[in-house]
Structures are given as structure tokens and as C-alpha cells.
Amino acid sequence: MTKQQEKQDKQPKWLDNLRALMASKEFNPRSLSLKAGLNATAVRDMLEGRAKFPRYDTIEALARALDVAPAQLMGGGFDLPEREGEKTVSKTSQAENDALADDDLNLLTEIITRLQETAHEYRQSLKPKDFAAMVTTIYREVQSKPSTTKSGKAAIDSHAHHLITYETLRQRAASRK
């Protein structure tokens, strides 16, 4: 396996969606960055792993430039537009895509709510970047382990408590320096 392949294997799944959408719309990184109103090197930086988890407004601008919903760009499992002379095999139906998007949205809403409640309980103020990183961490962990709704909520609570406790300890250690 080449270093390029290893690097791509470690990148978030949404970057595969970005690459596929760029190819289907015939964008290069620079042209997409400019069309989205971003810095000329923004998309290149994402594709090369320097910006793995951009802010939502960046994703929204990219999705708008690619003429897709942000959830489609981030979520995957959707049908890409066909290129001229190319046949695409549909992986899932639109109804299945909508159900998956609704499930993801419900899960993310639950994670955000429980993390906010836990932070409030610990009287912990989080920077937006730290909060987003925690949401992402919990989402990945819960997504990787299919479970029932009840145990899924318990898993979210458990992860939220662990992350908030860690952040509290990290901030205390930083303030001692």
C-alpha cells in the first residue's frame, strides 16, 4: 500500500463523497474552493488531510457549490449524478437515503443535547471547537457499535461524561502551568 493510499484510508468518509461529487461536477480543488467562496486552497487542504473537520458554514458553502445538501456531502450513501456517457449503479433508494439522513440527524441531535446537559451539570464551558470535536467523537463511537435505543442513550451519556471529565481535568492542568 502506498503512502497516498494509507493517507486516504485514514481520512474521514465525507472526503470520499467530496471527491466523487467533484469528479461528477468536473471541479478541481481550486475551482470548487472559489465557487464556494472559500480560500483558493481550502478544498486542497481538506483533501490532503490538513482540515479534516471543517466548520459547518464551510460544509454548507461546499454543498451549495456542488448543488447537494450538506447532509449528502457529509453522510454518504446517496446517488451521485451521472456523468455524460457513464452509468451509475444506485446503491440505495431515495427513501432509504432519507431514512438514513433522518436517523443520523436524530442521533446527532441526541448527542448534542446530552453533551450540553452534561457540560451544564459539570458547570463546564466548552469552546465551540472542543464541543464539535466531542460531538464527533461520540457520534463515531456510537455509530460503530449498533445498539438498541435505550443502550444507545446510555452509551451517549457515558461518553459525554467521560469527555467532559477529561476536558475539566485538561483545563485544570493547563491553568496550573
Predicted local distance difference test score (pLDDT) of residue 166: 81
Q: Which CATH class is domain 3-75?
A: mainly alpha
- For residues 126 and 116, what is the distance between their CA atoms, to the nearest angstrom? 9
Residues of the chain with CATH 1.10.260.40: 3-75
Helix 56-66 with 13-24: angle, nearest 10 deg: 30
**pTM summary value:** 0.45
Pairwise CA distance, residues 8 & 162, whole Å = 30
Give the whole-angstrom CA distance, residue 150 versus residue 22. 39
Start-end of CATH 1.10.1740 domains in the chain: 94-176
**Among 19-28, 55-64, 74-83, 139-148, which is the least confidently predicted range?**
74-83
Please state which of the ranges 36-40, 82-86, 132-136 shows the lowest mean pLDDT. 82-86
* Amino acid identity, position 152: G
**Average pLDDT value for residue range 110-129:** 89
Least confidently predicted of 17-26, 33-42, 67-76, 79-88:
79-88
For the cut 70, the answer to whether the pLDDT of residue 101 exceeds it is: no
Among residues 111, 152, 151, 156, which one has the least CA distance to residue 131? 111
Task: Output the pLDDT for position 99.
Answer: 62
CATH assignment, 94-176: 1.10.1740
Using the predicted structure, report yes or no on whether residue 88 has a pLDDT greater than 50: no
Residue-level pLDDT at 2: 62
For the cut 50, the answer to whether the pLDDT of residue 87 exceeds it is no
Tens of pLDDT, residue by residue over 38-79, are 999 999 999 998 877 777 778 888 989 999 887 777 764 444
Query: Residue 146 to residues 46, 75, 143, 166: CA-CA distances in angstroms?
Result: 29, 17, 6, 25
More confident residue, 131 or 152: 131
